[in-house]
Structure 1
Amino acid sequence: MTDREQLQRNGYVLLRRAIPTEWLDDLRAAFDAGVKPSNQWSVPRGMDWRHAQLDLDPKVQAACRLPALLAAAGELIGERFFLSQVEGREPLAGGGHQRLHRDLSAQRPGDMVNALAFLDDYGPENGATRIVPGSHRPEPGEPPFDFNDESRSVSLSGTAGDILVFDVDLVHAGSLNAFGARRRSLLISYFSESLYASHLETTSLRGVRMDTSERFDPADSAPGGPVA
Protein backbone atom coordinates (compact mmCIF):
# COMPACT_ATOMS: atom_id res chain seq x y z
CA MET A 1 0.00 0.00 0.00
CA THR A 2 1.34 3.43 -0.92
CA ASP A 3 1.73 6.32 1.50
CA ARG A 4 -1.11 8.12 -0.27
CA GLU A 5 -3.43 5.13 0.18
CA GLN A 6 -2.50 4.87 3.85
CA LEU A 7 -3.16 8.56 4.37
CA GLN A 8 -6.61 8.34 2.79
CA ARG A 9 -7.47 5.13 4.65
CA ASN A 10 -6.36 6.32 8.08
CA GLY A 11 -7.29 9.99 7.74
CA TYR A 12 -4.07 11.33 9.20
CA VAL A 13 -0.31 11.32 9.02
CA LEU A 14 2.25 12.12 11.69
CA LEU A 15 5.21 13.88 10.08
CA ARG A 16 8.16 13.22 12.37
CA ARG A 17 10.57 16.16 12.90
CA ALA A 18 9.03 18.07 10.02
CA ILE A 19 9.90 21.45 11.54
CA PRO A 20 13.61 22.29 11.30
CA THR A 21 15.14 22.10 14.77
CA GLU A 22 16.69 25.55 14.41
CA TRP A 23 13.20 27.06 13.98
CA LEU A 24 11.78 25.80 17.26
CA ASP A 25 13.13 28.49 19.59
CA ASP A 26 11.72 31.24 17.36
CA LEU A 27 8.35 29.50 17.15
CA ARG A 28 8.17 29.06 20.93
CA ALA A 29 9.07 32.73 21.39
CA ALA A 30 6.29 33.73 18.96
CA PHE A 31 3.85 31.55 20.88
CA ASP A 32 4.76 33.02 24.27
CA ALA A 33 4.68 36.61 22.95
CA GLY A 34 1.23 36.07 21.43
CA VAL A 35 -0.54 34.61 24.46
CA LYS A 36 -3.82 36.44 25.18
CA PRO A 37 -6.29 35.74 28.00
CA SER A 38 -9.69 34.38 27.09
CA ASN A 39 -11.51 37.70 27.47
CA GLN A 40 -9.27 39.40 24.90
CA TRP A 41 -10.46 37.19 22.03
CA SER A 42 -13.54 38.04 19.97
CA VAL A 43 -15.02 34.74 21.12
CA PRO A 44 -13.90 33.64 24.63
CA ARG A 45 -11.59 30.63 24.64
CA GLY A 46 -11.45 27.61 26.93
CA MET A 47 -10.19 28.55 30.38
CA ASP A 48 -8.05 25.42 30.80
CA TRP A 49 -6.02 26.22 27.67
CA ARG A 50 -3.44 28.88 26.86
CA HIS A 51 -4.19 30.55 23.49
CA ALA A 52 -1.74 32.58 21.39
CA GLN A 53 -2.46 34.93 18.49
CA LEU A 54 0.59 34.57 16.27
CA ASP A 55 -0.57 34.38 12.68
CA LEU A 56 1.45 37.43 11.55
CA ASP A 57 4.79 36.01 12.69
CA PRO A 58 7.06 35.22 9.67
CA LYS A 59 8.44 32.00 11.15
CA VAL A 60 4.94 30.76 11.95
CA GLN A 61 3.90 31.54 8.37
CA ALA A 62 6.91 29.62 7.08
CA ALA A 63 6.01 26.61 9.24
CA CYS A 64 2.52 26.59 7.73
CA ARG A 65 4.11 26.31 4.28
CA LEU A 66 6.54 23.47 4.88
CA PRO A 67 6.45 21.30 1.73
CA ALA A 68 5.68 18.03 3.52
CA LEU A 69 2.82 19.67 5.41
CA LEU A 70 1.30 21.22 2.28
CA ALA A 71 1.66 17.93 0.41
CA ALA A 72 -0.23 16.00 3.09
CA ALA A 73 -2.95 18.64 3.36
CA GLY A 74 -3.33 18.76 -0.42
CA GLU A 75 -3.59 15.00 -0.67
CA LEU A 76 -6.43 14.94 1.87
CA ILE A 77 -8.32 17.92 0.40
CA GLY A 78 -7.79 16.87 -3.20
CA GLU A 79 -8.25 20.29 -4.82
CA ARG A 80 -6.91 23.85 -4.64
CA PHE A 81 -6.83 25.05 -1.07
CA PHE A 82 -5.74 27.90 1.18
CA LEU A 83 -4.33 28.47 4.65
CA SER A 84 -7.33 29.58 6.69
CA GLN A 85 -6.03 30.02 10.21
CA VAL A 86 -3.16 29.39 12.60
CA GLU A 87 -3.12 30.00 16.34
CA GLY A 88 -1.25 28.70 19.34
CA ARG A 89 -2.81 26.30 21.86
CA GLU A 90 -1.47 24.72 25.02
CA PRO A 91 -3.30 22.74 27.73
CA LEU A 92 -2.70 24.17 31.19
CA ALA A 93 -1.71 21.98 34.13
CA GLY A 94 -4.77 20.00 35.17
CA GLY A 95 -6.65 20.99 32.01
CA GLY A 96 -6.92 20.14 28.34
CA HIS A 97 -9.06 17.01 28.49
CA GLN A 98 -11.62 16.80 25.69
CA ARG A 99 -14.29 14.27 24.84
CA LEU A 100 -13.69 12.51 21.55
CA HIS A 101 -15.22 14.55 18.72
CA ARG A 102 -15.11 15.48 15.05
CA ASP A 103 -14.52 19.05 13.84
CA LEU A 104 -16.71 18.30 10.78
CA SER A 105 -16.24 19.18 7.12
CA ALA A 106 -18.29 22.02 5.63
CA GLN A 107 -19.65 21.23 2.15
CA ARG A 108 -18.22 17.80 1.35
CA PRO A 109 -16.16 15.18 3.19
CA GLY A 110 -12.50 16.13 3.04
CA ASP A 111 -12.83 19.84 2.30
CA MET A 112 -11.05 20.88 5.52
CA VAL A 113 -7.81 19.67 7.10
CA ASN A 114 -6.24 20.53 10.44
CA ALA A 115 -2.63 20.21 11.52
CA LEU A 116 -1.03 20.31 14.96
CA ALA A 117 2.61 21.39 14.86
CA PHE A 118 4.15 20.45 18.19
CA LEU A 119 6.65 22.91 19.66
CA ASP A 120 7.43 20.77 22.72
CA ASP A 121 7.80 17.04 23.30
CA TYR A 122 4.35 15.51 23.85
CA GLY A 123 2.86 12.36 25.31
CA PRO A 124 0.06 11.10 27.58
CA GLU A 125 1.53 12.88 30.61
CA ASN A 126 1.23 16.42 29.17
CA GLY A 127 -2.01 16.36 27.21
CA ALA A 128 -1.14 14.58 23.98
CA THR A 129 -3.76 14.31 21.24
CA ARG A 130 -5.85 11.14 20.99
CA ILE A 131 -7.08 9.93 17.59
CA VAL A 132 -9.19 7.08 16.23
CA PRO A 133 -7.54 5.92 12.97
CA GLY A 134 -9.90 5.48 10.03
CA SER A 135 -12.88 7.08 11.80
CA HIS A 136 -13.24 9.90 9.25
CA ARG A 137 -15.12 7.77 6.71
CA PRO A 138 -17.62 5.41 8.36
CA GLU A 139 -18.63 2.38 6.31
CA PRO A 140 -22.20 2.27 4.89
CA GLY A 141 -24.55 0.98 7.58
CA GLU A 142 -21.98 1.46 10.33
CA PRO A 143 -23.63 2.64 13.59
CA PRO A 144 -22.94 6.20 14.76
CA PHE A 145 -19.64 6.59 16.56
CA ASP A 146 -19.90 6.45 20.35
CA PHE A 147 -17.78 9.40 21.48
CA ASN A 148 -17.64 7.95 25.00
CA ASP A 149 -15.97 4.78 23.72
CA GLU A 150 -12.19 5.11 24.01
CA SER A 151 -11.41 1.51 23.01
CA ARG A 152 -10.14 2.45 19.53
CA SER A 153 -8.39 5.69 20.46
CA VAL A 154 -4.62 6.00 20.18
CA SER A 155 -2.66 8.50 22.29
CA LEU A 156 0.16 10.07 20.28
CA SER A 157 3.64 10.79 21.57
CA GLY A 158 6.71 12.29 20.01
CA THR A 159 9.16 15.15 19.95
CA ALA A 160 9.10 18.87 19.29
CA GLY A 161 8.99 19.46 15.53
CA ASP A 162 6.48 16.72 14.72
CA ILE A 163 3.32 17.69 12.83
CA LEU A 164 0.03 15.78 12.93
CA VAL A 165 -2.06 16.36 9.78
CA PHE A 166 -5.64 15.07 9.80
CA ASP A 167 -9.03 15.20 8.08
CA VAL A 168 -11.39 17.26 10.26
CA ASP A 169 -13.86 14.36 10.32
CA LEU A 170 -11.31 12.14 12.06
CA VAL A 171 -12.40 11.45 15.65
CA HIS A 172 -9.86 13.04 18.00
CA ALA A 173 -9.45 14.90 21.29
CA GLY A 174 -6.95 16.59 23.57
CA SER A 175 -5.95 14.86 26.79
CA LEU A 176 -5.40 15.95 30.38
CA ASN A 177 -2.11 17.71 31.06
CA ALA A 178 -1.64 15.83 34.30
CA PHE A 179 1.92 16.88 35.12
CA GLY A 180 1.85 20.44 33.81
CA ALA A 181 4.79 20.13 31.41
CA ARG A 182 4.60 22.58 28.53
CA ARG A 183 2.88 21.32 25.37
CA ARG A 184 2.73 24.24 22.99
CA SER A 185 1.42 23.66 19.47
CA LEU A 186 0.34 25.51 16.37
CA LEU A 187 -3.20 24.64 15.31
CA ILE A 188 -3.28 25.15 11.54
CA SER A 189 -6.36 24.93 9.30
CA TYR A 190 -6.47 24.47 5.53
CA PHE A 191 -9.73 24.85 3.57
CA SER A 192 -10.81 23.96 0.06
CA GLU A 193 -10.87 27.02 -2.21
CA SER A 194 -14.67 26.70 -2.45
CA LEU A 195 -14.95 27.69 1.23
CA TYR A 196 -13.19 31.03 0.84
CA ALA A 197 -16.30 33.24 0.90
CA SER A 198 -17.63 31.68 4.10
CA HIS A 199 -14.13 31.85 5.60
CA LEU A 200 -14.00 35.62 5.04
CA GLU A 201 -17.30 36.04 6.90
CA THR A 202 -15.84 34.69 10.15
CA THR A 203 -12.22 35.88 10.19
CA SER A 204 -12.81 38.53 12.86
CA LEU A 205 -14.61 36.08 15.11
CA ARG A 206 -11.70 33.66 14.81
CA GLY A 207 -9.03 36.30 15.35
CA VAL A 208 -7.55 35.84 11.85
CA ARG A 209 -5.37 38.80 10.85
CA MET A 210 -3.13 37.29 8.16
CA ASP A 211 -3.58 37.46 4.40
CA THR A 212 -5.35 34.27 3.28
CA SER A 213 -5.43 34.95 -0.47
CA GLU A 214 -2.58 32.56 -1.41
CA ARG A 215 -3.64 29.31 -3.09
CA PHE A 216 -1.96 25.91 -3.06
CA ASP A 217 -2.41 23.05 -5.51
CA PRO A 218 -2.50 19.43 -4.33
CA ALA A 219 0.93 17.85 -4.58
CA ASP A 220 1.54 14.82 -6.75
CA SER A 221 2.25 12.71 -3.68
CA ALA A 222 1.96 12.97 0.07
CA PRO A 223 5.19 12.15 1.92
CA GLY A 224 5.46 10.11 5.06
CA GLY A 225 3.02 7.56 6.41
CA PRO A 226 0.71 7.16 9.37
CA VAL A 227 2.11 6.04 12.68
CA ALA A 228 1.44 2.44 13.55
Structure 2
Amino acid sequence: MTGAPTPTPVEPLPVEQAAVLDRDGYLLLRGAVPEAWRQGLRDAFDAGVGPPDQWGAPKGPGWRHALVDLDPRVRRACRAPALLAAAGRLVGGPFYFSQVEGREPLPGSGHQPLHRDGLGKHCVAALIFLDAYGPDNGATRVVPRPLDLGAPDESLAQILAGEAGDILVFDADLPHGATRNQVGARRRSLLLSFRPEADRAADTATRVLRTVRMDTAEVFVP
Protein backbone atom coordinates (compact mmCIF):
# COMPACT_ATOMS: atom_id res chain seq x y z
CA MET A 1 0.00 0.00 0.00
CA THR A 2 1.29 3.46 -0.85
CA GLY A 3 0.72 6.52 1.29
CA ALA A 4 -0.12 10.06 0.28
CA PRO A 5 2.43 11.67 -2.05
CA THR A 6 5.12 13.80 -0.47
CA PRO A 7 4.11 17.45 -0.80
CA THR A 8 6.06 19.48 -3.37
CA PRO A 9 7.41 22.75 -1.95
CA VAL A 10 6.81 25.90 -3.98
CA GLU A 11 9.23 28.81 -3.93
CA PRO A 12 7.82 32.24 -3.00
CA LEU A 13 7.25 34.94 -5.58
CA PRO A 14 9.77 37.78 -5.72
CA VAL A 15 8.63 40.61 -3.45
CA GLU A 16 7.75 43.03 -6.25
CA GLN A 17 5.65 40.47 -8.16
CA ALA A 18 3.91 39.39 -4.95
CA ALA A 19 2.94 43.01 -4.28
CA VAL A 20 1.45 43.39 -7.78
CA LEU A 21 -0.49 40.13 -7.45
CA ASP A 22 -1.82 41.06 -4.01
CA ARG A 23 -2.91 44.46 -5.27
CA ASP A 24 -4.42 43.58 -8.65
CA GLY A 25 -5.49 39.94 -8.23
CA TYR A 26 -3.64 38.97 -11.40
CA LEU A 27 -0.08 38.81 -12.66
CA LEU A 28 1.22 38.63 -16.21
CA LEU A 29 4.42 36.59 -16.28
CA ARG A 30 6.24 37.72 -19.40
CA GLY A 31 8.19 35.00 -21.21
CA ALA A 32 7.67 32.48 -18.40
CA VAL A 33 7.60 29.55 -20.84
CA PRO A 34 11.05 29.03 -22.41
CA GLU A 35 11.17 29.65 -26.14
CA ALA A 36 12.47 26.11 -26.72
CA TRP A 37 9.20 24.69 -25.32
CA ARG A 38 6.73 26.80 -27.29
CA GLN A 39 6.55 24.97 -30.61
CA GLY A 40 6.12 21.66 -28.79
CA LEU A 41 3.18 23.13 -26.89
CA ARG A 42 1.61 24.39 -30.12
CA ASP A 43 2.06 20.92 -31.61
CA ALA A 44 0.41 19.37 -28.54
CA PHE A 45 -2.51 21.78 -28.88
CA ASP A 46 -3.06 21.03 -32.56
CA ALA A 47 -2.78 17.27 -31.97
CA GLY A 48 -5.38 17.50 -29.20
CA VAL A 49 -8.10 19.07 -31.34
CA GLY A 50 -10.67 16.37 -32.04
CA PRO A 51 -14.36 15.57 -32.44
CA PRO A 52 -16.95 16.81 -29.93
CA ASP A 53 -17.47 13.33 -28.51
CA GLN A 54 -13.97 13.29 -26.99
CA TRP A 55 -15.30 15.58 -24.26
CA GLY A 56 -17.41 14.53 -21.28
CA ALA A 57 -19.72 17.51 -21.73
CA PRO A 58 -20.57 19.59 -24.82
CA LYS A 59 -18.33 22.54 -25.57
CA GLY A 60 -19.68 25.93 -26.54
CA PRO A 61 -19.57 27.11 -30.16
CA GLY A 62 -17.07 29.66 -31.40
CA TRP A 63 -14.02 27.98 -29.91
CA ARG A 64 -11.47 25.37 -30.90
CA HIS A 65 -10.87 23.00 -27.96
CA ALA A 66 -7.88 20.71 -27.46
CA LEU A 67 -7.55 17.71 -25.15
CA VAL A 68 -4.00 18.03 -23.82
CA ASP A 69 -3.85 16.99 -20.17
CA LEU A 70 -1.81 13.81 -20.74
CA ASP A 71 0.86 15.49 -22.86
CA PRO A 72 4.15 15.69 -20.89
CA ARG A 73 5.10 18.96 -22.56
CA VAL A 74 1.87 20.55 -21.37
CA ARG A 75 2.22 19.19 -17.85
CA ARG A 76 5.78 20.53 -17.65
CA ALA A 77 4.64 24.02 -18.71
CA CYS A 78 1.85 23.94 -16.13
CA ARG A 79 4.49 23.38 -13.44
CA ALA A 80 6.59 26.39 -14.43
CA PRO A 81 8.14 27.66 -11.17
CA ALA A 82 6.86 31.23 -11.54
CA LEU A 83 3.33 29.95 -12.21
CA LEU A 84 3.34 27.68 -9.16
CA ALA A 85 4.73 30.51 -7.04
CA ALA A 86 1.91 32.83 -8.11
CA ALA A 87 -0.72 30.14 -7.53
CA GLY A 88 0.66 29.48 -4.08
CA ARG A 89 0.51 33.15 -3.27
CA LEU A 90 -3.16 33.34 -4.25
CA VAL A 91 -4.26 30.12 -2.56
CA GLY A 92 -2.22 30.71 0.59
CA GLY A 93 -2.01 27.02 1.52
CA PRO A 94 -1.72 23.50 0.06
CA PHE A 95 -3.11 23.23 -3.47
CA TYR A 96 -3.20 20.91 -6.47
CA PHE A 97 -3.27 21.11 -10.28
CA SER A 98 -6.92 20.48 -11.12
CA GLN A 99 -7.20 20.54 -14.91
CA VAL A 100 -5.91 21.90 -18.22
CA GLU A 101 -7.30 22.14 -21.74
CA GLY A 102 -6.50 24.03 -24.91
CA ARG A 103 -8.75 26.83 -26.14
CA GLU A 104 -8.66 29.11 -29.16
CA PRO A 105 -11.30 31.64 -30.29
CA LEU A 106 -12.36 31.04 -33.89
CA PRO A 107 -12.36 33.95 -36.37
CA GLY A 108 -15.20 36.32 -35.54
CA SER A 109 -15.92 34.52 -32.24
CA GLY A 110 -14.68 34.22 -28.68
CA HIS A 111 -16.29 37.14 -26.89
CA GLN A 112 -17.38 36.28 -23.35
CA PRO A 113 -19.30 38.42 -20.87
CA LEU A 114 -17.23 39.33 -17.84
CA HIS A 115 -17.69 36.57 -15.29
CA ARG A 116 -16.26 35.05 -12.12
CA ASP A 117 -15.28 31.41 -11.52
CA GLY A 118 -15.36 29.61 -8.18
CA LEU A 119 -16.76 32.50 -6.17
CA GLY A 120 -15.17 32.62 -2.70
CA LYS A 121 -13.21 29.36 -3.12
CA HIS A 122 -9.68 30.77 -3.59
CA CYS A 123 -9.33 28.98 -6.92
CA VAL A 124 -6.63 30.08 -9.33
CA ALA A 125 -6.93 30.24 -13.11
CA ALA A 126 -4.09 30.66 -15.58
CA LEU A 127 -3.62 31.04 -19.32
CA ILE A 128 -0.42 29.98 -21.02
CA PHE A 129 -0.38 31.86 -24.32
CA LEU A 130 0.98 29.89 -27.28
CA ASP A 131 0.63 32.72 -29.82
CA ALA A 132 0.89 36.50 -29.68
CA TYR A 133 -2.32 37.97 -28.26
CA GLY A 134 -4.00 41.36 -28.12
CA PRO A 135 -7.33 43.15 -28.63
CA ASP A 136 -7.55 42.08 -32.29
CA ASN A 137 -7.37 38.30 -31.85
CA GLY A 138 -9.34 37.48 -28.74
CA ALA A 139 -7.11 38.48 -25.83
CA THR A 140 -8.34 38.16 -22.26
CA ARG A 141 -9.62 41.17 -20.36
CA VAL A 142 -9.70 41.52 -16.58
CA VAL A 143 -10.93 43.99 -13.98
CA PRO A 144 -8.15 44.58 -11.42
CA ARG A 145 -9.09 44.26 -7.76
CA PRO A 146 -8.92 48.01 -6.99
CA LEU A 147 -11.51 48.64 -9.72
CA ASP A 148 -13.77 45.68 -8.91
CA LEU A 149 -16.91 47.15 -7.39
CA GLY A 150 -18.96 43.94 -7.35
CA ALA A 151 -21.10 43.88 -10.47
CA PRO A 152 -18.85 43.33 -13.53
CA ASP A 153 -18.34 46.63 -15.35
CA GLU A 154 -17.04 46.49 -18.92
CA SER A 155 -15.79 50.07 -18.73
CA LEU A 156 -13.26 49.02 -16.08
CA ALA A 157 -11.88 45.98 -17.93
CA GLN A 158 -8.30 46.03 -19.17
CA ILE A 159 -7.44 44.07 -22.33
CA LEU A 160 -4.08 42.34 -22.08
CA ALA A 161 -1.51 42.00 -24.85
CA GLY A 162 1.76 40.16 -25.21
CA GLU A 163 3.69 37.34 -26.83
CA ALA A 164 3.77 33.56 -26.95
CA GLY A 165 5.29 32.21 -23.75
CA ASP A 166 3.53 34.69 -21.45
CA ILE A 167 1.43 33.32 -18.59
CA LEU A 168 -1.54 35.13 -17.06
CA VAL A 169 -2.34 33.89 -13.56
CA PHE A 170 -5.31 35.31 -11.66
CA ASP A 171 -7.77 34.87 -8.83
CA ALA A 172 -10.67 33.07 -10.51
CA ASP A 173 -13.07 35.37 -8.61
CA LEU A 174 -11.74 38.34 -10.59
CA PRO A 175 -14.12 39.52 -13.36
CA HIS A 176 -12.61 38.31 -16.63
CA GLY A 177 -13.50 37.19 -20.14
CA ALA A 178 -12.13 36.76 -23.64
CA THR A 179 -12.58 39.29 -26.43
CA ARG A 180 -13.63 38.65 -30.01
CA ASN A 181 -11.07 37.34 -32.52
CA GLN A 182 -11.67 40.11 -35.03
CA VAL A 183 -8.82 39.45 -37.45
CA GLY A 184 -8.79 35.64 -37.41
CA ALA A 185 -5.16 35.32 -36.28
CA ARG A 186 -4.39 32.25 -34.19
CA ARG A 187 -4.60 32.72 -30.42
CA ARG A 188 -4.01 29.31 -28.91
CA SER A 189 -3.71 29.03 -25.15
CA LEU A 190 -3.71 26.48 -22.37
CA LEU A 191 -6.37 27.19 -19.76
CA LEU A 192 -5.61 25.60 -16.40
CA SER A 193 -6.68 25.78 -12.81
CA PHE A 194 -5.27 25.17 -9.35
CA ARG A 195 -7.49 24.51 -6.37
CA PRO A 196 -7.04 24.41 -2.58
CA GLU A 197 -6.45 20.92 -1.26
CA ALA A 198 -9.72 21.25 0.69
CA ASP A 199 -11.63 21.18 -2.63
CA ARG A 200 -10.24 17.83 -3.77
CA ALA A 201 -13.19 15.56 -2.90
CA ALA A 202 -15.78 17.75 -4.62
CA ASP A 203 -13.50 18.31 -7.61
CA THR A 204 -12.86 14.59 -8.03
CA ALA A 205 -16.60 13.94 -8.33
CA THR A 206 -16.71 15.94 -11.58
CA ARG A 207 -13.57 14.55 -13.26
CA VAL A 208 -15.46 12.64 -15.95
CA LEU A 209 -17.72 15.57 -16.78
CA ARG A 210 -14.67 17.83 -17.14
CA THR A 211 -12.71 15.18 -19.11
CA VAL A 212 -9.82 15.16 -16.65
CA ARG A 213 -7.63 12.13 -17.35
CA MET A 214 -4.34 13.20 -15.76
CA ASP A 215 -3.09 12.31 -12.30
CA THR A 216 -3.92 15.15 -9.91
CA ALA A 217 -2.53 13.60 -6.73
CA GLU A 218 0.46 15.92 -6.37
CA VAL A 219 0.10 18.47 -3.57
CA PHE A 220 1.97 21.78 -3.72
CA VAL A 221 2.83 23.66 -0.54
CA PRO A 222 3.76 27.38 -0.61
Q: Deviations over 1:7-55 (max 9, x none)?
A: 1121000000000001011000000000123343111001100000010
Matched with 2:123 is 112
For 2:206, the aligned partner's letter is: T
Within a 5 Å distance, the mapping from 1:152-191 to structure 2 comes to 152-191=156-195
1:66 aligns with 2:80: yes
Cα distance in structure 1, aligned partners of 2:93 and 2:137? 35
Tell me if the contact between 2:17 and 2:27 (Cα under 8 Å) persists in the aligned partners: no
Q: CA deviation at 1:151?
A: 1.2
For 2:82, the aligned partner's letter is: A
Q: SS of the counterpart of 1:124? A: coil
Matched with 2:217 is 213
Over the matched positions of the two proteins, sequence identity in percent amounts to 57
TM-score, normalised to structure 1, is: 0.87
Cα distance in structure 1, aligned partners of 2:69 and 2:146? 30
Tell me if the contact between 1:112 and 1:167 (Cα under 8 Å) persists in the aligned partners: yes
For 2:163, the aligned partner's letter is: T
Tell me if the contact between 1:37 and 1:50 (Cα under 8 Å) persists in the aligned partners: no
Matched with 1:37 is 51
Cα distance in structure 1, aligned partners of 2:40 and 2:66? 14
TM-score, normalised to structure 2, is: 0.90
Matched with 1:203 is 207
Moved more, 109-118 or 76-85: 109-118
Matched with 1:100 is 114
For 2:214, the aligned partner's letter is: M
Partner residue of 1:131 out of 127, 135, 142: 142
Moved more, 76-85 or 30-39: 30-39
Q: Deviations over 1:114-155 (max 9, x none)?
A: 00000000001100001001169x6xxx6x41x3x3111100
For 1:177, the aligned partner's letter is: N
Q: SS of the counterpart of 1:4? A: helix
Q: SS of the counterpart of 2:73? A: helix
Tell me if the contact between 1:77 and 1:110 (Cα under 8 Å) persists in the aligned partners: no
Across the two proteins, how many residue pairs are aligned to each other? 208
For 1:202, the aligned partner's letter is: T
Structure 2, gaps ≥5 residues long? 1-14
Q: CA deviation at 1:104?
A: 2.5
Q: 1:167 to 1:63 in 2, by over 3 A?
A: same
Q: 1:135 to 1:203 in 2, by over 3 A?
A: farther
For 2:87, the aligned partner's letter is: A
Tell me if the contact between 2:23 and 2:146 (Cα under 8 Å) persists in the aligned partners: no
Matched with 2:7 is none
Within a 5 Å distance, the mapping from 1:47-58 to structure 2 comes to 47-58=61-72
Matched with 1:22 is 36
